[in-house]
Amino acid sequence: MDMKWDSRLYDDAHGFVSKYGEGILSYLHPKPGERILDLGCGTGDLTNEISLSGAEVIGADSSAEMILAAKSKYPHIQFYQADARDLDATVQFDAVFSNAALHWIPEKENVIKSMHSVLKNGGRLVLEFGGKGNIRQLIIALRAVFIKRGYHKNAKINFWYFPSIGEYATELEKYNFRVTHAEHFDRVTPLTSNQGIKDWFMMFGDNFFMDIMPTEKDHILNEVEEKLSVTHFINGVWNADYTRVRFVAVKE
Q: Go through the domains of the chain in sequence order and give each one's CATH number.
A: 7-134+160-192+242-251 (3.40.50.150)
Residue 165 confidence (pLDDT):
98
The answer to whether 189 touches 20, Cβ cutoff 8 Å, is: yes
d(CA 174, CA 176): 6
Residues 191-231 pLDDT 10s: 876 678 998 998 889 999 999 999 999 999 999 999 999 99
* CB burial readout 25-45, b (16+ within 10 A) else e: bebbebeeebbbbbbbbbbbb
Categorize the per-residue pLDDT at 13 as very low, low, confident or very high, splitting at 50, 70 and 90. very low
DSSP 63-100: -HHHHHHHHHH-TTSEEEE--TTS--TTS-EEEEEEES
User: What is the arithmetic mean of pLDDT over 6-22?
Assistant: 52
